[in-house]
Amino acid sequence: MKIDLHTHSTCSDGTDSPAKLIEQAHAAHVDVVGITDHDTVAGWDEASQAASQLGVKLVRGMELTATCHGVRVHILGYLFDPHHRAVQEHIRTVQASRVNRARLITERLAEDFPITFDDVVAQAAPGAVLGRPHIADALVAAGVIANRSQAFARLLASSSPYYVSQYAPTAREVVEFIGVAGGKTVWAHPRAMARGKVAPDSAFAELAQAGLFGIEVDHRDNPADTRPALADIVKEYGLARFGSSDYHGTGKPNELGENTTARDVYYELIDGTFAEVI
């Protein structure tokens, strides 16, 4: 069984629609796929319909923006109640912050480059959660830079003068309210050093105590030499080891199924949650 539980669609910063994402997973012989768009559940229904038609098992989730010891992190929430008050409050607050942030970054960029906020909005699918990838795509479309990766490296990184931070709850708060909403949480790519600073090791104990279910160990952004230590942390705190692609369509080189999660971990994940696997 091939299990890939971290992917993105056009509802956030992926380039495949939710239905196309499921089609791609089916073509890649992925048996179980997780849709985990950033701070939105907008793709769940469309992905569910496609999964039912193609016989792909779908784990519905969301990648939640959070902070941990002053560092921006991402927490994957799975199979929670999407209508729970805390979940809805997170979505409303973070999405509003994302829009404001995109506008402010674009205003800064516009002082030096031919880009407008309307250009950024045009790069996102209708109703999609705005993010820096859409700004990157607008810069590419304007001929400012060659691709998303270069845009992030040169203009959109946290060290850039154009960078603007956004609101995010603490990782502990996210772990706790997803748990209250009947879901389970996994810390995504915790050693993605190329993206910027990473949280200290002490954070693993804190989040495990708060109810964290697992850690995404096998992910291309976790350098190979960091994975043995992450595996030790998994064992030390009784967590589950996850592996995922973080597929974004053509937005990133990540391929569906390039990293996967073990069958026994998958069955532990889906046991006792609010939502069921489609």
127 band by pLDDT with thresholds 50, 70 and 90: confident
**CATH assignment of the domain containing 109:** 1.10.150.650
Q: Does residue 205 lie in a domain region?
A: yes
* Residues 147 and 208 occupy one common structural domain: no
pLDDT digits (tens, 9 = 90+) for 49-88: 999 999 999 999 999 999 999 999 999 999 999 999 999 9
Give this prediction's pTM: 0.94
Whether 251 has a pLDDT exceeding 90, the answer reads: no
Report the residue count for the chain.
278
Q: Does residue 85 lie in a domain region?
A: no
Q: What is the CA radius of gyration of the chain?
A: 18
Residue linked to tokens 């069955």: 267
Q: Does residue 169 lie in a domain region?
A: no
* Residues 44 and 117 occupy one common structural domain: no
* Residues 104 and 234 occupy one common structural domain: no
* Residues 76 and 197 occupy one common structural domain: yes
Q: What is the mean pLDDT of residues 98-118?
A: 97
**Residue 268 Rama label (left phi>0; alpha psi -120 to 50; beta):** alpha
* Residues 189 and 242 occupy one common structural domain: yes
pLDDT digits (tens, 9 = 90+) for 179-220: 999 999 999 999 998 888 899 999 999 999 999 999 999 999
* Residues 264 and 224 occupy one common structural domain: yes
* Residues 119 and 191 occupy one common structural domain: no
Share of the chain above pLDDT 70, in %: 100
Q: What total number of domains does the chain contain?
A: 2
Q: Does residue 161 lie in a domain region?
A: no
DSSP lists the bridge partners of residue 184 as: 78
Q: What is the mean pLDDT of residues 31-52?
A: 98
Q: Does residue 275 lie in a domain region?
A: no
For residue 131, give its domain range: 100-153
Q: Does residue 177 lie in a domain region?
A: no
Q: Does residue 209 lie in a domain region?
A: yes
* Residues 141 and 253 occupy one common structural domain: no
pLDDT of residue 70: 93
Q: Does residue 160 lie in a domain region?
A: no
* Residues 72 and 121 occupy one common structural domain: no
* Residues 127 and 252 occupy one common structural domain: no
pLDDT of residue 75: 99
* Residues 137 and 248 occupy one common structural domain: no
**CATH assignment of the domain containing 74:** 3.20.20.140
Whether 223 has a pLDDT exceeding 90, the answer reads: yes
DSSP the chain: --EEEEE--TTTT-SS-HHHHHHHHHHTT-SEEEE--BT--TTHHHHHHHHHHHT-EEEEEEEEEEEETTEEEEEEEES--TT-HHHHHHHHHHHHHHHHHHHHHHHHHHTTSS--HHHHHHTSPTTPPP-HHHHHHHHHHTTSSSSHHHHIIIIISTTSTT-------BHHHHHHHHHHTT-EEEE--TT-GGGS----THHHHHHHHHT--EEEEE-TTS-GGGHHHHHHHHHHTT-EEEE---B-GGGSS--TTSS---HHHHHHHHTT-SS---
Mean pLDDT for the chain overall: 97
Cα–Cα distance measured from residue 28 to residue 22, given in angstroms and rounded to the nearest whole number? 10
